[in-house]
Chains A and B, each alone.
Chain A
Amino acid sequence: MTIEQIFREEYGRVVASLARRFGDLDVAEDAAAEALLVALERWPAHGVPPNPGGWLTTTAGNKALDRIRRERKRDAKHQAALMINDDTPHEPTGIVADDRLRLIFTCCHPALAPEARVALTLRLLGGLTVAEIAAAFLVPETTMAQRITRAKAKIKGANIPFRVPSATDLSDRLGAVLAVVYLVFNEGYLSSSAAEPLRDELTDEAIRLGRMLRTLLPDEPEIAGLLALMLLTDARRPTRVSGGELVPLHEQDRGAWDRELIGEGHALVRECLARNRPGQYQLLAAINAVHTDAPTAAATDWGQIATLYSHLQAIAPSPLVALNRAIAVAELDGPEVALAEVDRLPLTSYHPWHATRADLLRRLGRSAEAREAYGAAIAATANAAERAYLTRRRDQLGS
C-alpha cells in the first residue's frame, strides 16, 4: 500500500477520533492533513510504522495540541481539550469505531441540509477532496466548498453533538445515514455525469461505508439490507456497460457477474429474512436477490418480484416503486396491463418512466408511439451510456 492509500483508509478514523477529542471538525481535519505531511516526509526514509493508523492519530493529536497552544484561543472547548489526557489506544474496533459512528451520525444530522450531509460524509469519513465531491455531484468546486464550510459552521455554532442518537431516535436518524450512503452509491452506479456512466470510486466508497456501518451496528436489519442491495447491484457492474452502451438486466452476461459479491449479498438477505423486520432496503435487496438467483433472464421469478414490490409499496409508497412493479407485471400479465398502470404515474419528468413506456409500446407493436417515448427518455437523461442504449433501441424500431 502506498502512503496515500494508507492515509485514505485511515482518514475517517483519524478525523473521527480527533473530532471527539477536540469537538472541532476544522481542528480535526487540519491536524489530519498535517500528520499526512509528516508521514510523507518520514515514512519513505524510516519505513511505515507497524500501526500506521495509531501513528497518524497520535501525530495528528499532537499537531492539534501544538496548534491550539500556538493560537492560544480562549475558546472553552479548546481549553478543555488541552486538559483531556487522551491515551485511547488506536484499535480498529471499540471506542475508535464508535468515533466514526458518532461522526457519521453528526454528518447526517437532520438539522443539516440533505446535500450537505452527503458532502460532509464523503469529506470527513471518505476523505474525498472537495474537488472530487464537487465533480461527483456536478456542482462548481466553490459551491461545494461553501456547502461544506456552512455545514461545519452549523455543527459548531448550533452545537450539534458528536453522538450516536439514543435508541428511541436511532431509527429516524439511521434513515438519514442510510439515505446518504445509498445516494452516494446511486450516483456511482448511474452517474448523472455526461462523461462517465459509472463512477467506481463512489460505489466502492458507499460499500465501504455500508460495511463500516454494519460492523458498528450489526443488529440493524436495514443496514444489512442496504449493504446486500449495494453488493447485489455492484456484482452486475462488470456487465453493465458494453461498448459505451448501457446493457439492461435481461441482456447482461450472467456468467460475468461477480459470484463472490452475489454470495455475500444472498447471505445478508437470508439473515434479513430470518430477522423478519422488513424495511425498504431489505425488500430492494430481496428483489435483487431474486434477479441474481435466476440462471437466465427468462427464468426470473417475476411473481415473487411483483409481490416484493407490492410489500415495498405498502411500507414506502412512491410512484417509482409502482413503476418498477409495473415492469414485473408486464412479464406476468403482459405489456398492455403494465402500460395502463405506467400511464397513470405522475413521472413525466423522469427518464426511466419514458424508457419503460417506450419498451412496453415497442412490445405492443405501437412503433410510432414507442419512437416518441424513446425520444423523450433520451432527452431526459444526461448519462451517455444510457443515451446510447436508448438510441439504438429507438433506431431498431420498424416503422
Chain B
Amino acid sequence: MTQYFLSVHHDEAGAAAMAELTEADMQRMFTQVGAFNTRLQAEGAWLFAGGLMPIEQSTCVDATGERPIVTDGPFSESKEYLGGFWIIEAADLDAALAWAAEGSRACEGKVEVRPFQSE
C-alpha cells in the first residue's frame, strides 16, 4: 500500500467562478464531498482530509535564522494555492487515480496526486 496526498488547488482563474458560487452550489459540493469521504472511509482508504481557510488567513514562520520571523501571508506569491486535500492509502497509483477522479468530480476541481515518501 502507498499513501497519497490528493490536493485541490485554486487559482485566480477559478477565483471569479468561485465568487459566483451560490449557496446552492456550495451545498451541492459539500454533499458530494461528504459522500466521497464516506466512501473513502467505508473502503478503508481514508487517512485524513481537510478543507483550508482562504489563503488570506495564512501566516509564514521562518526560524532558519537566529530568531523566528513571522509574516502575514502565504509562503509563495504564486497564483495557485492549496484549497484542500485528502490523504489516502491505495494499492497503487491506478487505485489512487481512480479515487482522485471521484474526488475531482465531487469537489468540482482539479486534483493533484502525489505519493508520500515510503520511509
A interface with B by C-beta (< 8 Å): 74, 76, 109, 111, 157-161, 163, 165
Chain B facing A: main interface SS = mixed
Cα-based distance from A165 to B92 in the complex (angstroms): 12
Cα-based distance from A161 to B91 in the complex (angstroms): 9
A158 in contact with B94 (CB, 8 Å): no
Task: Categorize the interface residue count of chain B.
Answer: 10 to 19
What are 28 A-B interface contacts by the 8 Å CB criterion? A74-B119, A76-B118, A109-B93, A111-B93, A111-B97, A157-B115, A157-B118, A158-B2, A158-B93, A158-B113, A158-B114, A158-B115, A159-B2, A159-B91, A159-B92, A159-B93, A159-B96, A159-B115, A160-B92, A160-B93, A160-B94, A161-B91, A161-B92, A161-B93, A161-B94, A163-B92, A163-B94, A165-B94
Query: Which residue of chain B has the shortest Cβ distance to A166 in the bound complex?
Result: B94
User: Would you give the shortest CB distance from A106 to chain B, in whole angstroms?
Assistant: 10
User: Would you give the shortest CB distance from B57 to chain A, in whole angstroms?
Assistant: 31
| B 72-100 to A, binary, CB cutoff 8 A, 1 in contact else 0 | 00000000000000000001111011000
Cα-based distance from A153 to B71 in the complex (angstroms): 36
Chain A hits for B97, CB < 8 A: 111
Give residues of chain B (94-119) contacting chain A, Cβ–Cβ below 8 Å.
94, 96-97, 113-115, 118-119
Given contacts A157-B118, A159-B93, A161-B94, 8 further A-B contacts (CB under 8 A): A76-B118, A111-B97, A157-B115, A158-B2, A158-B93, A160-B94, A161-B91, A165-B94
Query: Which residue of chain A has the shortest Cβ distance to B116 in the bound complex?
Result: A157
User: Would you give the shortest CB distance from B112 to chain A, in whole angstroms?
Assistant: 11
Cα-based distance from A157 to B4 in the complex (angstroms): 11
